[in-house]
Structure 1
Amino acid sequence: MSTGLPPSQVLPPLKQIPPEIAAVQDYEPYAQARMSPQAWAYFSGGAADEQTLHENHMVFSRWHIVPRVLRDLGHGTTRQSLLGCDFDYPILLAPVAHQALAHTQGEQASALAASAMGAGLVLSTQSSTDLAQLAQQASCPLWFQLYIQPDRAFTAQLVQRAEQAGYRALVITVDAPLNGMRNREQRAQFSLPPGIEEVNLRGMVHARGHYAQPGQSPVFGSGLLQQAPTWQDIAWLISQTRLPVLLKGILSAHDALLAQEAGAAGVIVSNHGGRTLDGVLPTLAALPIVRAALPADYPVLLDGGVRRGTDVFKALALGANAVMIGRPYIFALAAAGAAGVAHVLHLLRTELEVAMALAGCARLEDIQTESLLKL
């Protein structure tokens, strides 16, 4: 699929991963050189002043690992079972829209890498690749991310399509009834180029809206929120499927409890990668609050800010069952296609296992709150 960009505007993907890429963040300059300024603004930017975007990662540095020594590490493992899916390690590829902006093979390359590396992948509703086509090509556990659309009948059909294609869970994004103020995208004048579309939404009836006139309420006067999903819609959607449903975008204990009461099988602590409301709680700061409100066996995942295997370790210590990564694999996808995504998964898994071994944790369940200290 073409990005619609002149070839002279971006460098081609790497044919070989250079040895100087030793950590996932090393991919960023290579990715930027291979994206248009508009695509780079879309993937790398956040909302408003991007405070939350930066805090999502920086908050990890406030927690310090407390190692244990001389422990038996001979039978170490990072295997994890979650919602009926078995994973080799607790790192999933988060749903990211429009991946053909980053690489011509888009989500197909990401799924190829996840399949090769034994990782899970969550496909975005707004993917550049048809959900059924991707399911036929992938051998990794697939979950489907869903925005509840104003066209509820189409939403129900989309859920059935995901079920029939073999997806193992639904991830409902609940923190974006409208887009945040993405100033970096605005300054870059981002729009989807010709040849890239949200293929899974073909045929949907789009709700008619109107722009507020000067002097009117710009959001509440525009009709944008008239059909925004509510907890009643979550209960309705759960009744439409036999798949486990996770709610992505939970930051408060109160909403975590409401999710459980509504019948959600798990929650994902997320602030949309800092792309919706700037100034909100970093995900790692929200994680222990959400974890404490829920039963110990209730699945909680973390999405946002993970850049190192030690970050994964810290998230697990604070109560996450697994983490999702977004920008790290998208930048690797842009730089080197499927090989780059596979390399990022390998780097993070290696760093996690090294951290576990040096902290005296042979299994994921050995990673406890006592493994960390906040200064």
Structure 2
Amino acid sequence: MGHGSETAAAPAHCLADFERAAASVLPADVRDFVAGGSGAEVTLDANRTALDRVFLVPRVLRDVSRCTADSTLLKRPVPMPVAVAPVAYQQLVHPDGERAAARAAKAAGVPFTASTLSSVPIEELTAIGGTVWFQLYRLRDAAQSLELVRRAEDAGCEAIMLTVDVPWMGRRLRDVRNRFALPSHVRAANISTGSTAHRRHADSSAVAVHTGQAFSSATTWSSLAALRKQTRLPLLLKGVLAAEDAVRAVESGVDAVVVSNHGGRQLDGAVPSIDVLPEVAAAVNDGCEVLLDSGIRSGTDVLRALALGASGVLVGRPLIWGLAAAGEAGARRVLDLLADELRDALGLSGCDGVAAARQLRTLVPG
């Protein structure tokens, strides 16, 4: 499989440039695996539409000469309120995979979230030396799930992110039509569940078959309560869209909820994340941090999320496009651009920092 050189063929001036660059080097089925959503991709498209509907009301005559995006996530200082989202099987797009992405996150000073389905073991990612969070899918084998938590703790991960919107993988039609399967050199390095994901099926995605066999579809609030007792690490709950669930999450002792529809990859027709962010933030009422993902593609998007009540955001696909186009250098450039764009958006909106951004008014026409 081809992959990009360490410097992008053409200068990248925004995150979308990397998606175009990645398209020229990735096989079509891998590109579809990363870009695609579930069903008719209604929610995938709606995430962008909804973000673009949010207009900011800038303030003027404010001193922004010392504008900064400095903030905190899980009470730890960060140079911008951004973390790298968990994305599975990153060696699909570049031989260095998660290693390169984790080095890029370290260089940017932002947390890197390692997926249960990472193609590089947790221990190799924490050894890079940045802030690493571990994303947990609860497995049918409860002992193996607990073993993953213990491995993450022992390796030095600083938080556990439990994803709760995947009882099984959404029906991603691009993968079904491509009869998508993992190439032999890419595997789920943190779990041992055989080679199901590598065997092509006539009418399904091998990755979906594999997760259907490996993941528990019986994860409940009791499961969350048990996990809260099993680890002292900060706990994030990813995949929350209903305010009622966010309230219950706070009552269960989570440190953050991630308002997310899985980037349009699970329930097609689910509400865009940004549309429910304000009511989730209001319902949580400072009981825990509120992060947002699904569709973040610019510094302006980060500002929109902050203005609507988010503590910060997760960014996923853009890092993968940067990684595909130019390896670690591409992933670093994505995060550098995001930081530049966020500072630009802050200053132009009359905000000298993140606290002021959270006071900005927004307008959604109609």
- Alignment-derived partner of residue 232 in structure 1: 222
Amino acid across the alignment from 1:159: V
Map 1:16-35 to 2 at 5 A.
16-35=7-26
Change in Cα spacing, 1:224 to 1:79, as seen in structure 2 (3 Å) is closer
| Partner deviation per Cα, 1:288-343 (whole Å, 9 max, x = no partner) | 11111012352000011111111100000000011011111101110100111111
Change in Cα spacing, 1:225 to 1:345, as seen in structure 2 (3 Å) is closer
Q: Is the 8 A contact 2:64 2:347 kept in 1?
A: yes
Amino acid across the alignment from 2:89: H
- Alignment-derived partner of residue 181 in structure 1: 171
Change in Cα spacing, 1:63 to 1:122, as seen in structure 2 (3 Å) is same
- Select which of 60, 68, 75 maps to 2:59: 68
Q: Distance in 1 between matches of 2:10 and 2:21?
A: 13
Displacement of 1:248 in angstroms is 0.1
2:118 is aligned with 1:127: yes
Change in Cα spacing, 1:160 to 1:77, as seen in structure 2 (3 Å) is same
2:101 is aligned with 1:90: no
Displacement of 1:169 in angstroms is 0.5
Change in Cα spacing, 1:369 to 1:52, as seen in structure 2 (3 Å) is farther
Q: Is the 8 A contact 1:85 1:141 kept in 2?
A: no
- Alignment-derived partner of residue 218 in structure 1: none
- Alignment-derived partner of residue 366 in structure 1: 356
Q: How many residues align?
A: 350
Q: Structure 1: which 5+ runs fail to align?
A: 207-221
Q: Distance in 1 between matches of 2:213 and 2:355?
A: 48
Change in Cα spacing, 1:114 to 1:224, as seen in structure 2 (3 Å) is closer
- Alignment-derived partner of residue 200 in structure 2: none
- Alignment-derived partner of residue 201 in structure 2: none
Amino acid across the alignment from 2:308: L
Map 1:1-375 to 2 at 5 A.
5=1, 10=2, 12-137=3-128, 139-202=129-192, 227-296=217-286, 298-375=288-365
Output the TM-score relative to the length of structure 2.
Answer: 0.91
Tell me which structure has the larger Cα radius of gyration: 1
Q: Distance in 1 between matches of 2:172 and 2:189?
A: 24
Q: Is the 8 A contact 2:83 2:315 kept in 1?
A: yes
Q: Distance in 1 between matches of 2:301 and 2:193?
A: 41
Q: Structure 2: which 5+ runs fail to align?
A: 197-211
Q: Is the 8 A contact 2:163 2:237 kept in 1?
A: yes
Q: Distance in 2 between matches of 1:233 and 1:277?
A: 22
Displacement of 1:225 in angstroms is 8.9
Q: Distance in 2 between matches of 1:116 and 1:72?
A: 29
Q: Distance in 1 between matches of 2:294 and 2:213?
A: 30
Q: Structure 1 residue runs of 4+, over 3 Å off? A: 222-227
Amino acid across the alignment from 1:17: A
Q: Distance in 2 between matches of 1:87 and 1:76?
A: 15
Amino acid across the alignment from 2:53: R
Change in Cα spacing, 1:120 to 1:226, as seen in structure 2 (3 Å) is closer
| Partner deviation per Cα, 1:76-98 (whole Å, 9 max, x = no partner) | 22111222322110111100000
- Alignment-derived partner of residue 204 in structure 2: none
Displacement of 1:270 in angstroms is 0.3
Q: Distance in 2 between matches of 1:223 and 1:36?
A: 27
Amino acid across the alignment from 2:21: Y
Amino acid across the alignment from 2:188: E
Q: Distance in 2 between matches of 1:182 and 1:49?
A: 9
Displacement of 1:186 in angstroms is 0.7
- Alignment-derived partner of residue 211 in structure 1: none
